[in-house]
Amino acid sequence: AAETGGDEKAVVRNYFNTSGFERWKRIYGEQDDVNSVQLDIRQGHAQTVEKTLEILNQSSLKNVTICDAGCGTGSLSIPLAMAGAQVYASDISSAMVDEAAKRASQALKENQPEPKFEARDLESITGRYDTVCCLDVLIHYPQEKAGAMVTHLASLAEKRLILSFAPKTLWYSVLKRIGELFPGPSKATRAYLHAEEDVERALNAAGWVVRKREMTATKFYFSRLLEAVPARSQ
């Protein structure tokens, strides 16, 4: 259905509330219930989270406000809360948000601030946060919607914006094409790669500059991570 257009956001929401939820909660978990491809993706994604935490932990996170847009099962929100940050986490999928809240209450100690979890799509997030993070969500946005999404996230952030996405390079485009020749559950939604120049152009147009770039690539997972800050602060 995703291939035929229509309401793509509804397709994504439905997927992450049903089969996608089951698949990704296992990948973003710790149990032994994943195949070798999923294990590779789990490990790759863990590196993206680790690199984000490294950037953010350079100064104390105590009482820092962080918006985790498209929070999934809370892989980033929970360690941020453990470090004392005030986390506002949301996701288009209520199943994801419920799972994240459950994991948070299991993991957090009493003196650690519980993140505020909410089911809402990225476009409807409001407010201002010291930092906005959005990891591996752009893959669900077609090119023509990506710019507006980046602009919106930038408008929510005061000091820092951290974004990760699958970079569109010749090599990854070929790999994606090969992947598409094989049927599988991961093909339930379309995946979009993004040219780094396009993402950076949207950031620059919103008055932000890229301060740090990281890349994570395993066999089946690849993600470019950008840390951006307001141009005036540089």
Residues within the interface to ligand SAM (CB under 6 A): 9, 12, 16, 28, 70-72, 75-76, 91-93, 96, 121-122, 135-137, 140
Tell me, rounded to whole angstroms, the distance of Cα 13 from its chain centroid: 15
CB of 57 to ligand SAM, least distance (A): 17
Residue 30 CB coordination number (10 Å): 8
Q: Are 230 and 207 in contact (CB under 8 A)?
A: yes
Sign of the CA dihedral with 139 first, then 49, 112, and 22 last: positive
Give min distance, CB of 224 to ligand SAM, in A. 14
Residue in the block written with tokens 């090119």: 143
Q: Which residue is nearest to ligand SAM (CB)?
A: 72
Cβ at position 122, least distance to ligand SAM in Å: 4
Nearer to ligand SAM, 64 or 134 (CB): 134
Shorter beta-carbon distance to ligand SAM: residue 122 or 154: 122
Nearer Cβ to ligand SAM (61/153): 153
Name the minimum Å distance from CB 19 to ligand SAM. 12
Q: Are 44 and 218 in contact (CB under 8 A)?
A: yes
Which is nearer to ligand SAM, 135 or 150 (by Cβ)? 135
3-state SS, one letter per residue, for 127-138: CCEEEEEEECCH
Name the minimum Å distance from CB 67 to ligand SAM: 11
Comparing C-alpha atoms, which of 73, 171, 186, 75 is closest to residue 139? 186
**DSSP state at residue 194:** B
User: In this complex, which beta carbon is closest to ligand SAM, that of residue 70 or of residue 115?
Assistant: 70
What does the block give as tokens for 41?
A: 């993706």
In this complex, which beta carbon is closest to ligand SAM, that of residue 121 or of residue 198? 121
Minimum gap (Å) between residue 199 Cβ and ligand SAM: 16
The residue with tokens 């993070």 is 133
162 backbone dihedrals φ, ψ, rounded to 5°:
-120, 125
| Matching residue, tokens 């020749």 | 181
